[in-house]
Every structure is written in C-alpha cells, then in structure tokens.
A and B are shown apart, each in its own frame.
Chain A
Amino acid sequence: SQQGEEDPQALSIQEGENATMNCSYKTSINNLQWYRQNSGRGLVHLILIRSNEREKHSGRLRVTLDTSKKSSSLLITASRAADTASYFCATNLEKTSYDKVIFGPGTSLSVIP
C-alpha cells in the first residue's frame, strides 16, 4: 500500500469553485510537498510544508498539515480551467534520507469552464 494516498482519485468542478484534495500517509514525515502535472507535461512543484508547520499559503493555494491525523489537504480557491491537472502529494519519511520522497497516486482534477 502507498505511503501517501490522495483522495479523491478524481474531482470535477465548475470554474470559480474551490477544489480540495486530501493526502493521507502512514508513517511520520519530515515534510510534505504537493506537485502538479498537466496533461502531457512534467511535474511542477507547488508548495512544501514542514512537519512543524500547520498551514501554508501560496497565491490561490492553501495547504494544511495535521500530523496527528497523518493527513494534508490542498485547497485551490477560485479554480480556473488551467488548474485542470493531476495533483500529487510527496512525503519525506522521518527516518530516511532527507531528500528522498514517496509520491502518492494522485488526484485528477477537471475544472469545467
């Protein structure tokens, strides 16, 4: 089973709505990152949150981390058609190499114009 698993697997919303994706993991982490992958393109780093942080913002993105529940959420506010992509969480495990991360299977987001 995956260290990090995103939920839902797929999400479809109307442009302008907010999108929320969740990531649950099994073992303690140093940090957690979110990445985006547009269709046919490479992955792009969105945001990193460390284990001692609870919330971070970047533009229309808000990430929260609850280490007691071993979960993180990514909120995209006022979604746009260009936000259509797959979103992956990547966890850096506490007792492993500082740089090594494990990616989850991703959430596929469709934003309908």
Chain B
Amino acid sequence: GAGVSQSPSNKVTEKGKDVELRCDPISGHTALYWYRQSLGQGLEFLIYFQGNSAPDKSGLPSDRFSAERTGGSVSTLTIQRTQQEDSAVYLCASSLYLEQYFGPGTRLTVT
C-alpha cells in the first residue's frame, strides 16, 4: 500500500512569505507527527495529532507555526512570515500503534 507522502518535495521561498506543507498519512493511521530536521542534526518534534484529541503543540517553535489535520487524515503545516532559520527538512510521520512511518520530507529553503 501507499506510504506517507509529502508535498512539495522542495520549496524555495523568500523571507517573509507564508508556506504550506502537506502530509498524507497512511490510511487508517490515527497518529500524525511533524518534525523538523536541520542539516546533520536530529529530529526536532513540532506537533502531534492523535485521533480526535487536542493536538500536542508543545514543540512548535513560535506562533508563526501552525498545523491542522482535517478529517483525521491529511495535515497541513503552515509557516507564516518565514525566516532564514526556518530552512530545514520538514518530516511527517504517521502511526497506528508505536512504530512511526515517515514520509520523504519537504526541504524548505528560505532565501
């Protein structure tokens, strides 16, 4: 079956612009996660959705970052007024139990 997909694969944007990153999780997976990975670094937790529960937003670095998950499936991560330090690979993962399945990521470059 299809894995986790993310779009776009690459995004170059100018500083100050808003961007939207999309994640399509594996069908039936109740949990969805967003992470950020800077070059050569580990994964920084951003936000976590589990079913109909309120999302865990404790990892969002600023109020410029927001995410939603519509209908318990597709999720969109929005970064407003992008800054150069937002440049990173944004990874999405979904899971049914504990094992997370990752998408290929969106590489965001803010110029």
Contacts and interface: CB of A to CB of B under 8 A. Distances in A.
B42 A104 contact: yes
Contacts of B35: 103
Contact of B42 (A33, A98, A106): A106
A113 interface: no
Interface in B92-111: 93, 95, 97-105
Contact of A100 (B42, B56, B102, B105): B56
B101 A45 contact: yes
B103 A42 contact: yes
A44 interface: yes
B102 A43 contact: yes
B12 interface: no
Nearest to A50: B98
22 contacts: A31-B98, A35-B100, A42-B91, A42-B102, A42-B103, A42-B104, A43-B100, A44-B102, A45-B101, A88-B42, A90-B100, A99-B31, A100-B33, A100-B45, A100-B56, A101-B45, A101-B100, A102-B45, A103-B35, A103-B43, A103-B45, A106-B42
Given A99-B97, A99-B98, 7 more contacts: A33-B98, A43-B91, A44-B102, A92-B98, A100-B48, A102-B45, A103-B35
Interface of A: 2, 31, 33, 35, 41-45, 48, 88, 90, 92, 97-106
